[in-house]
Structure 1
Amino acid sequence: MSSAAPSTPGVHETDEPAALAALRALVRVPTVSRRPPDRIEDGVLARLHAVLAEHFPLLHAAAEVIGLDDGALLLHWRGRSAARPVVLMAHLDVVPPGEHWTRDPFGAELLGGPQDGTVYGRGVLDDKGSVAAICSAVEELLAAGHEPAQDVWLSFGSNEEVSGTAAAAAVVELRRRGVEPWMVLDEGGAVAGGTFPGVDVPVAVIGVAEKGTTSLRLVASGGGGHASTPSRGGATARLAKAVLALERHPLPARLGDVTVETFRRLAPHARQPVGALMARAGSARPAVARALAALGGEPAALVRTTMVTTTLSGSPALNVVASEATAGVNARIAPGESVADVVAHVRSVVGKGIDVEVVESGEPSPLSPWEDEAFALLERGVAEVFPDAVTTPYVVLAATDGRFLAEICPRVYRFAPFRMSKAQRATIHGPDEHLHVPDLLDGVRFYRRLLEELPA
């Protein structure tokens, strides 16, 4: 990591849009969640809360601010009605910066002008950009004297990056208050470029579900002993066979209803012959699923539960035969399948002599409707702020805090309203994470328009 370079000469923070100044201040507070201890360093979140209060005084004066365990926040902005409350979500924590940054990951460096530049820093995309955009939209509306048609809740989690329970605590508090949200909007999708082969237009992918996340541990036991007198079929050899067997025998590929709808919407905007294939996806599901699975990577993840071996351990020394060898397997479970399905599949593939332990389990979230007033509200916002983009539902491949809100709301959507190129998306959890200032300001416009158009 190199030392931080100064911002562009002649640019002063007082010249910056309020959302940009707030985002830069948030990035400079290193709210890093680590495993273990599965929480942020003491005192850091309090500093972040102070930054939020400083940059958004009208919001903090108008809303009830509710502190939750682990430094999470709920803010309640009362509307003209409480019949159909809306929850806007984001998370305050970030992953560790990692290596190979060319700029200070917590320096919030601005390259270019305050209206057209680019801000670098851990969390500008995931997920402090959303925090800044949401709060800026509310601050602007309050300054304009706007009263929302419905109650608005802002839920900012503090341990999303370590699969923590802050969002679950928000659900407990909302239930305690009798709040049954009409719609929830969390991070997940984006206005993405370069997402689908043959599709050149930006695609606003709005998550209507997310895969379940489950971690397994494979254990092979053996006699151990000195490496000079090894026996055949020891623990490491049997574990290696099990790992390879899992890679060779994935779960079946299936084309779900959400992906069919995605292809239906994208078909008119795709180059041929891709457009024709997309248009026929609903009537040729097995063939399309096999074709996507063969491509690997993101296309394959669209059509099946994925499993990958992520950790390995064996002997503590080079001259000792392992008495136990273990492998960690991370599974992302597609809607329509379950943790039990995955465990049964793994056990059948690895066979006898390998113990399969469930370390963490999470089922896929239920599907939220896309032929619905709430989804249409999001579509209208995209059409206004991102008129060149095609809006489509999709299944989020990763996990978000929104999955917890599915317990109390049938309409949980996952969409961060920022343009993101394929290269930009690669910086999420990687080096040189960055967000262009015009895209941040478009995100503010999207949230503001959403709040202005809440149905009475």
Structure 2
Amino acid sequence: MSGPLDRFRELLRIPTVSHADESLIDHDSFDRFHQALERLYPLIHDRLDREVVARHSLLYRWSGRGSGAPVVLMAHQDVVPVVEAEWQHPPFEAITTGEGDDTVVHARGAIDDKGSLVAILEAVESLIDEGFEPERDVYLAFGHNEETAGDGAQAIVALLAERGIRPDLVLDEGGAVVDGVVPGLARPTAMVGVAERGVMTLVLTARTEGGHASTPPAMPATARLARAIDCLRRRPFPRRIAPPVRAMLATVAPHVAEPLRTAFRRTSVTGQAVAAVFSRLGPETNAVVRTTAVVTELSGAPGENVLATTARASVNIRLLTGDTVEGATERVRRVIGDDDVEIEVRHGSDPSPVSPWRGPQWRRIARAVSATLGDDVLTTPYLQLGASDSRWFTPISDHVYRFTPFHLTRAERDALHAPDERIRVAVWLRGIDFYRAFLTDAT
């Protein structure tokens, strides 16, 4: 009989890759993934109601004994594309290396996000096998295109809203258990996202007359675009301490030494100084204290000896709580200061509302952390840096949280969306225990 790791590896081997260009999507992979779920988790598919939404997204309903507002556990089926030549181990073979507690499974999706998806299924299947019934309804919401459009999750939310369902608590992927992220803090921290930054893309376009590269004008389109890009780099968005970050610092303050203890407690006074330090410590902490903007795509002439008539750059912007798509666009326009560079919003969504970091919903997550991931782990509110499908649930729930129950090293976090994504098996198995503890906590 196969065990949890065998099932995990089988599902990791199915390349459910999402692409912004939907014509590139292998829909058969998602169909095979669904068929594998039915075979590997027979009790779930016997006891829970299942609906397929927006072609490939999945919504399961586990009926509870009572009539209270339901809980939603989220994950997504899709993974980002790979460049196989960059991987040490084939990305869709789910090879394991090492022994005992050092066993590692290497695969695209090992953490983002099949790690959570399969851990949730393992927890639910085992609880059904033990005869457990939840106190209230539990929904499992598994989107199929979180990495691109996110409209699978949006369709699930629309369906729940149409039925008048307002979840008491929504838990999606997000911050993990980490070490050394907060300066001065020695304890491992469970970073539970109470909000996430907004995400938008601006397209910068510079135009000029074409011609042969042997006779360039004084300011070709590429140079005008490069100047605009450099303006953005040299004048980043201002630093500040947003409310979720202020809450994080207040939570960790009792666990750090002076002078950081006072600095973290009194951010109304020390906020600018703390933000300045955070911005210099590295990309993660810098992203916690400011809206970030980076050019990700460039295009110009069709040939090496041809002047570009149009030069374009895509600017990916992640909005700190309190900033807006409109405000960020206007600031970029002022910083560039060139009316000949066109600025277009390709798409954008404002930062999510902030969920409470006190109350029964928060305590339920914290109890599950302590019970399964270690009494020494400090659960703290956190501003999620990336976007997730959970943002679509904020119109129908006031308690939307983002937490991946795995204790991850910096190297493991750096491998997300990069070559050599992997997870230690012992860490993944403790994630199953987290979801079991969360589901059986009816208080």
TM norm structure 2: 0.95
Say which of 278, 284, 292 aligns to 2:264: 278
- In structure 2, the partner of 1:426 is 414
Superposed displacement of residue 267, structure 1: 2.5
- In structure 1, the partner of 2:309 is 323
Matched, 1:175 2:175: no
SS in 2 for 1:370: coil
Alignment map for 1:324-363 (pairs within 5 Å): 324-351=310-337, 352-363=339-350
- The verdict on how the C-alpha distance between 1:363 and 1:211 changes in structure 2, with shifts beyond 3 A counting, is same
Distance 1:201 1:244 in 2: 39
Q: Does the CA contact (< 8 Å) of 2:57 and 2:142 recur in 1?
A: yes
Q: Does the CA contact (< 8 Å) of 1:38 and 1:159 recur in 2?
A: no
Alignment map for 1:157-306 (pairs within 5 Å): 157-270=143-256, 273-306=259-292
Distance 1:415 1:156 in 2: 15
SS in 2 for 1:376: helix
Alignment map for 1:98-109 (pairs within 5 Å): 98=83, 99-109=85-95
Matched, 1:130 2:116: yes
Output one character per residue of 1:189-211: Cα deviation in whole Å (capped at 9) or x when no partner.
Answer: 11112322332321100001111
Distance 1:399 1:163 in 2: 11
Letter of the 1:70 counterpart: R
SS in 2 for 1:75: strand
Distance 2:273 2:259 in 1: 15
RMSD (Å) for aligned C-alpha atoms: 1.7
Say which of 338, 353, 376 aligns to 1:366: 353
Q: Does the CA contact (< 8 Å) of 2:179 and 2:186 recur in 1?
A: yes
Output one character per residue of 1:196-248: Cα deviation in whole Å (capped at 9) or x when no partner.
Answer: 23323211000011111100101111122222322212222211111111111
Letter of the 1:185 counterpart: L
- In structure 1, the partner of 2:431 is 443
- In structure 2, the partner of 1:393 is 381
Letter of the 2:82 counterpart: P
Distance 2:67 2:219 in 1: 65
Q: Does the CA contact (< 8 Å) of 2:76 and 2:146 recur in 1?
A: yes
Distance 1:52 1:229 in 2: 62
Letter of the 2:169 counterpart: M
Superposed displacement of residue 377, structure 1: 0.7
Matched, 1:87 2:72: yes
Say which of 403, 416, 423 aligns to 2:404: 416
Letter of the 1:380 counterpart: R
Alignment map for 1:107-118 (pairs within 5 Å): 107-113=93-99, 117-118=103-104
Distance 1:218 1:82 in 2: 52
- In structure 1, the partner of 2:390 is 402
Say which of 5, 9, 15 aligns to 1:30: 15
- In structure 2, the partner of 1:3 is none
Output one character per residue of 1:330-355: Cα deviation in whole Å (capped at 9) or x when no partner.
Answer: 00011101000111001111122111
Unaligned runs of 5+ in 1: 1-13
Distance 1:391 1:282 in 2: 23
Letter of the 2:87 counterpart: W
Using the TM superposition, name which of 120-129 and 431-440 deviates more.
431-440
- The verdict on how the C-alpha distance between 1:276 and 1:445 changes in structure 2, with shifts beyond 3 A counting, is same
Letter of the 1:354 counterpart: V
Q: Does the CA contact (< 8 Å) of 2:20 and 2:149 recur in 1?
A: no
Distance 2:47 2:100 in 1: 29
Distance 2:24 2:303 in 1: 33
Letter of the 1:143 counterpart: D
Distance 1:283 1:258 in 2: 17
Say which of 147, 157, 161 aligns to 2:133: 147
TM norm structure 1: 0.92
Superposed displacement of residue 288, structure 1: 1.5
Letter of the 2:72 counterpart: V
Distance 1:159 1:183 in 2: 22
Unaligned runs of 5+ in 2: none
SS in 2 for 1:320: coil
SS in 2 for 1:162: coil
Distance 2:198 2:26 in 1: 28
Distance 1:207 1:38 in 2: 33
- The verdict on how the C-alpha distance between 1:340 and 1:353 changes in structure 2, with shifts beyond 3 A counting, is same
Letter of the 2:346 counterpart: V
Superposed displacement of residue 116, structure 1: 5.9
Letter of the 1:217 counterpart: V
Superposed displacement of residue 166, structure 1: 0.4
Q: Does the CA contact (< 8 Å) of 1:198 and 1:272 recur in 2?
A: no
Distance 1:246 1:168 in 2: 33
Output one character per residue of 1:101-158: Cα deviation in whole Å (capped at 9) or x when no partner.
Answer: 1212111122245776222211110111111111111111111111101100000011
Distance 1:152 1:410 in 2: 17
- In structure 2, the partner of 1:5 is none
Superposed displacement of residue 293, structure 1: 2.3
Q: Does the CA contact (< 8 Å) of 1:40 and 1:93 recur in 2?
A: no
Q: Does the CA contact (< 8 Å) of 1:20 and 1:440 recur in 2?
A: no
Alignment map for 1:3-82 (pairs within 5 Å): 14=1, 18-37=3-22, 40-82=25-67
Output one character per residue of 1:371-395: Cα deviation in whole Å (capped at 9) or x when no partner.
Answer: 1210111011111112221110111
Superposed displacement of residue 441, structure 1: 1.6
